Structure 1
Amino acid sequence: MRSAAVVVTMMLSTAAMAQDGPSKADWDAINVSLKQLKDGRYLDAADILRSLAFDAAGKPKPGIFYSQWREAQTRMTAEPAGPEPQPSDGPEAKAAAERLVAATPRDAIAEIVARAAKTRVVILNENHGLPRDRAFALEVARALRPLGYSLLAAETFWNADDQAPMARLAKDGFPVHSSGHYTQDPVFGDFVRQSLAMGYRPVAYEEMGSGKGLSRAESIARREEAQSSSLAKVLAADPKAKMFVYVGHSHVAEEPIDGSGNAKQSWMAALLKAKTGIDPLTIDQVTLGQSASGYNGLARRVLAAKASGRSVVLFDGDRPMTVGQYAGAVDLQVYHPTTRMVKGRPDWLAAMGRKSMVIPAGFVPQKGERLVQAFIAGESDDAIPVDQVLVQAGKNVPVLLVPGDKPLRLAMQDPASTTP
């Protein structure tokens, strides 16, 4: 998905933006932040958003600015900014947790492989603020490749008219800052890098119109129609090709789900199914993932004991169990175990084929914080780092987690407001 800030800015006039609350200066700041991010200035991108994301007392201000700041911060740590929220005890949350008490866990990858062999389209979603989802996407890509899956379609890939970004991505074998928005995250970037090395071909399919003047429901409908049509054309052009589609949130729903008011909304997966006659394997890892709202906290507590440190899908007898917003609209829902921190880094990063690398003393700041980055030597200057981490003066120094079989180069970034 393109940055929410970009989408909203394109949809709203200057006058409408001012009437909605945020000023033109606020939106300009978001776009400056996005420009910094596209230039690879991760620290500066987050710092620009900080004043918009928090009030004078340092309390988060819910909304797009805090959401964008969280994403910017998460790109530098591979972990969500802030602690996991307290579980909601509302009726919906309790009902989901009660259903899951009786669920039987099965290994997620094994179940995905068994079902993916019976179709040619697998669709997996993500929470855009959780890099852990992207590490699991790499596990799925690895498991699907021996089944003949060779197309990697990612919502975030930049869908230019001339397809130049995808041509370069396929040629280079690694993402750059113009490949897409979410691929600027090192975890997402390495998921793509490793997938291309396995033989996947990148496919861009995002709708690129502005949707200006449309209602939210109309804008969604237009976007889902464009996405599904693009993917249907790719599948029709090569009837034997098998495709792994990586999306955000609701695009995975293969049945209409609740939309605005009492209306049902059809999303990309449902439209693609109707256009092609292909019944895709749809997998949701958002509902049971670490949430920004805490609505699924009770369910996660129930599942923690069932998972035994592995990613699982839940069954009621021989039938997959799905709960929450996508109940009945996806084939499988994945629960990932709670992250453990090892030497200051999330344990799941190691599953991406990483080894610990001690940060040299000369890269540790004497004051403030610094972003330390590891790049694969030989990749271009605009390549996405394979890993990066924030290092703070006077605190324990985390490790970098990097491939053990590739030469690397290290770099550092200090905030623009400070002198290294």
Structure 2
Amino acid sequence: MSARAAAVVLMMLPTAAMAQDGPSKADFVAASAAGDRLDTGRYLDAAEALRPLAFDAAGKPKPGFVHDQWAELYALMTAEPVDPEPSPAEDAEAKAMAERVAGAILRDAISEIVARAAKTRVVILNENHGLPRDRAFALEVARALRPLGYSVLAAETFMVGDKGVAMSKLTKQGYPTQRTGYYTHDPVFGDFVRQSLALGYRPLSYEQTEEERGKPTGRTESIARREEAQANHLAQALAADPKAKFFVYVGFSHVTEQPIDGPDDAKERWMATRLMAKTGIDPLTIDQTILGPLMGGSNGLARRALAARTVARSVVLFDGEHPMTVGQYAGAVDLQVYHPETRMVKGRPDWLAAMNRRPMVIPAGFVPQKGERLVQAFIAGESDDAIPLDQVLLRAGEDVPSLLVPGDKPLRLVTQDPTSPKP
């Protein structure tokens, strides 16, 4: 197991511990093996390293950390979740939440973000790590913020602990590689970064280092150490460049600017809460996870209520003139985003078009005669360890989707078969 793979698993432990006791030793070994394969660009092999612990002997998913990681890896090859949306809860709390959002005023998300971002120098947007669609919206936000003077892109996933080598390389090259970060292995995330750098953003890493992680005694201390380290790094960067405006891209609860409930009704102070206290800056905090499709049954009725309103664009919810926030982050973020339901066009999600893409037919010779094959599109001239611009997973005998690529860049296509192909 490489030190980098081990560090990635350790980084994910606090999030995993939110729902369970955390990975077992076997889980840790499998996730590390997957990380090693992912670091060499072997997406199919990375997913296969997790399969034995992600599914039982009958092929049924085994809920937990490893299956969640397997699903995230597969989403890198499909751009869409592989697991079905959970059935909605029907309890009184879920019904009340649905009733609230059914009566909400809907405003265009980007317009509202721009209006509010002009009044601060820090915008924090979160993502669900299993939804590449969130990263496409992050690119929309980056584009909209740039004319306001936002020039620093700080991302939780960016590589730390290498004395800035990865960020210097990223700045110089203008595109991410397999060493840039963990979540940037996703082609959608990779192109969000690539296009943001082309707009003039400077990348900034702020994640906790291995030394700062130390050996915490449990979940609560682990989270507290990580949030404190992240907030310290961002506060230092803001102080060092007092005129710069920061777009900070995080996962899940790091976005909350007020303490939120944790296990046993204890209040937890996540990164944005600590950053406010350290800097006195009131950031614009934006959540796009609570109303997303993978957050469990508690939001299912609310999502149905919003889908029934035939939303055609990403929106934020208002109660009169005041933003409406619901669920776990109610009152702890400034805005909550709801994205319209994804439509599949020629086997690909419609939201990819917003990333300046056009369909490209996959040549017949690239289609597998048996098993699975990953077809990847790279920008010609980028290094061999660059993140693909797009990739699609093909299965023998099934319809062949299109690649979605920009129309103004020379490309090279690469195929990737699993090391141990399935029949």
Common topology (TM > 0.5):
yes
Question: Which structure 2 residues correspond to residues 90-101 of structure 1 after superposition, within 5 A?
Answer: 90-101=91-102
Q: CA shift at 1:84, angstroms? A: 1.7
Which residue pairs with 1:103 in the alignment? 104
Question: In structure 2, the residue corresponding to 1:56 is in which secondary structure?
Answer: coil
Could you say if the C-alpha distance between residues 246 and 21 of structure 1 is closer, same or farther in structure 2, counting changes exceeding 3 Å? closer
Q: Distance in 1 between matches of 2:159 and 2:418?
A: 28
What does the per-residue CA deviation read over 1:93-130, in whole Å, with 9 as the maximum and x for residues that have no partner? 22211111210000000000000000000000000000
Which residue pairs with 1:177 in the alignment? 178
Could you say if the C-alpha distance between residues 387 and 370 of structure 1 is closer, same or farther in structure 2, counting changes exceeding 3 Å? same
Q: Does 1:298 align with 2:301?
A: yes
Q: Does 1:242 align with 2:245?
A: yes
Which residue pairs with 1:121 in the alignment? 122
Given candidates 223, 226, 235, the residue that maps to 1:223 is 226
Q: Does 1:81 align with 2:85?
A: no
Could you say if the C-alpha distance between residues 142 and 3 of structure 1 is closer, same or farther in structure 2, counting changes exceeding 3 Å? farther
Q: CA shift at 1:10, angstroms? A: 8.3
Q: Distance in 1 between matches of 2:24 and 2:319?
A: 50
Amino acid across the alignment from 1:46 = A
Given candidates 316, 339, 343, the residue that maps to 2:342 is 339
Q: Distance in 2 between matches of 1:354 and 1:136?
A: 14
Name the stretch that deviates more: 92-101 or 402-411.
Answer: 92-101
Q: Distance in 2 between matches of 1:228 and 1:381?
A: 34
Question: In structure 1, the residue corresponding to 2:86 is in which secondary structure?
Answer: coil
What's the TM-score, normalizing by structure 2?
0.94
Question: In structure 2, the residue corresponding to 1:295 is in which secondary structure?
Answer: helix
Question: In structure 2, the residue corresponding to 1:76 is in which secondary structure?
Answer: helix
Question: Which structure 2 residues correspond to residues 305-384 of structure 1 after superposition, within 5 A?
Answer: 305-306=308-309, 308-384=311-387
Q: Distance in 2 between matches of 1:384 and 1:342?
A: 24
Question: In structure 1, the residue corresponding to 2:263 is in which secondary structure?
Answer: coil
Question: In structure 2, the residue corresponding to 1:247 is in which secondary structure?
Answer: strand
What does the per-residue CA deviation read over 1:220-269, in whole Å, with 9 as the maximum and x for residues that have no partner? 11111110010011111111100000000000000111123122111110
Q: Distance in 2 between matches of 1:93 and 1:291?
A: 15
Question: Which structure 2 residues correspond to residues 182-261 of structure 1 after superposition, within 5 A?
Answer: 182-209=183-210, 210-261=213-264
Amino acid across the alignment from 1:257 = I
Which residue pairs with 2:414 in the alignment? 411
Q: Does 1:69 align with 2:70?
A: yes
Could you tell me whether the CA contact under 8 Å between 1:42 and 1:76 is conserved in 2? yes
Which residue pairs with 1:44 in the alignment? 45
Q: Distance in 2 between matches of 1:35 and 1:401?
A: 28
Which residue pairs with 1:395 in the alignment? 398
Q: Distance in 2 between matches of 1:248 and 1:369?
A: 31
Question: Which structure 2 residues correspond to residues 268-287 of structure 1 after superposition, within 5 A?
Answer: 268-287=271-290
* % identity of equivalent residues: 71
Could you say if the C-alpha distance between residues 57 and 5 of structure 1 is closer, same or farther in structure 2, counting changes exceeding 3 Å? farther
Could you say if the C-alpha distance between residues 307 and 152 of structure 1 is closer, same or farther in structure 2, counting changes exceeding 3 Å? farther
What does the per-residue CA deviation read over 1:78-98, in whole Å, with 9 as the maximum and x for residues that have no partner? 000122222121232222111
Could you tell me whether the CA contact under 8 Å between 2:114 and 2:144 is conserved in 1? yes
Could you tell me whether the CA contact under 8 Å between 2:157 and 2:184 is conserved in 1? yes
Question: In structure 2, the residue corresponding to 1:296 is in which secondary structure?
Answer: helix
* Structure 2 unaligned blocks of 5 or more: 15-20
* Structure 1 unaligned blocks of 5 or more: 12-19
Amino acid across the alignment from 2:234 = L
Q: How many residues align?
A: 411
